[in-house]
Amino acid sequence: MFKEFKEFALKGNVVDLAVGVVIGAAFQSIVNSLVNDIIMPTISIITGKIDFSNMMFTVGNNSIKYGNFITAIVNFLIISFSIFLVVRYINKLNKLEKSRIKDLNDKLISKIDKNGTLKKYKKSKEDVPTEPETKICPYCLTEIKYKATRCPNCTSELPDLTSTVSDESSK
């Protein structure tokens, strides 16, 4: 039974949770000080010197301190908003990392042979041959558009080069 407890207590998740609770308690004292010493006095100044800690009403011999409750609500809102910001930032980092991994996986096919080397790479956009924009007229040696069938300078009929490019790209 002691061995099982030791395994449970030393798991990564339990230790992480314990560290989170300790840091949360320390953060709570910082937020309490922020609310009690800065925010609530500022609100008291704005609202006309109202002290929230003394706000209460009595019923018989009991006093209901709703001012302390308002302070606790402000504490909760600040802590929950700050935790929301941290979780949101961590999620953005995780999405960024996942997109980088996906980009790497898209670039290469991960077939690994018995030796542990990659068998085949996926063709990138740079590897695919693209059609040139210009060509040189074989008769007058001027630069003309690639798809032109007649030279605008010497009016010579040009040979069809599109079939030779597609034949070379298929090899």
At position 2, the amino acid (one-letter code) is F
Dump pLDDT digits (tens) for 65-103: 888 888 888 888 888 888 888 888 888 888 888 887 777
Higher pLDDT, 23 or 121: 23
- Is 19 in the same domain as 100? yes
| pLDDT score of 111 more than 60 | no
pLDDT at position 126: 60
Q: Report, as an integer, the average pLDDT of 111-117.
A: 58
Domain-embedded: residue 141? yes
Q: Residue 157: which domain range?
A: 134-170
Q: Which two tokens stand for residue 20?
A: 């989170």
Q: What span, in angstroms and rounded, lies between the C-alpha atoms of 137 and 9? A: 80
- Is 103 in the same domain as 138? no
The per-residue pLDDT of the chain, averaged, comes to 77
Domain-embedded: residue 113? no
pLDDT at position 119: 59
Residue that terminates a domain, selected from 90, 107, 124: 107
- Is 75 in the same domain as 139? no
- Is 32 in the same domain as 99? yes
User: In 3D, which of 125, 95, 122, 128 has the Cα closest to residue 109?
Assistant: 122
pLDDT at position 24: 84
Q: What span, in angstroms and rounded, lies between the C-alpha atoms of 153 and 14? A: 81
- Is 6 in the same domain as 81? yes
- Is 85 in the same domain as 138? no
- Is 70 in the same domain as 138? no
Q: What span, in angstroms and rounded, lies between the C-alpha atoms of 42 and 48? A: 10
- Is 101 in the same domain as 161? no
The count of structural domains within the chain is 2
Residue that terminates a domain, selected from 71, 90, 107: 107
Note whether 150 and 156 are within 8 A (CB): yes
CATH of the domain at 85: 1.10.1200.120
- Is 63 in the same domain as 28? yes
- Is 28 in the same domain as 102? yes
Domain-embedded: residue 18? yes
Higher pLDDT, 37 or 108: 37
Domain-embedded: residue 166? yes
User: In 3D, which of 142, 141, 135 has the Cα closest to residue 161?
Assistant: 135
pLDDT at position 16: 77
Q: What span, in angstroms and rounded, lies between the C-alpha atoms of 76 and 27? A: 12
Q: Where are the alpha helices (DSSP H) in the chain?
A: 2-9, 12-34, 40-47, 66-107, 162-170
- Is 15 in the same domain as 61? yes
Q: What span, in angstroms and rounded, lies between the C-alpha atoms of 151 and 139? A: 9
20-24, 42-46, 102-106: which has the minimum mean pLDDT?
102-106
* Residue 111 three-state SS: coil
Higher pLDDT, 37 or 14: 37
pTM value > 0.75 = no
- Is 86 in the same domain as 145? no
Residues near 50 by Cβ (< 8 Å), separated by ≥ 6? Answer: 43, 44
pLDDT at position 52: 74
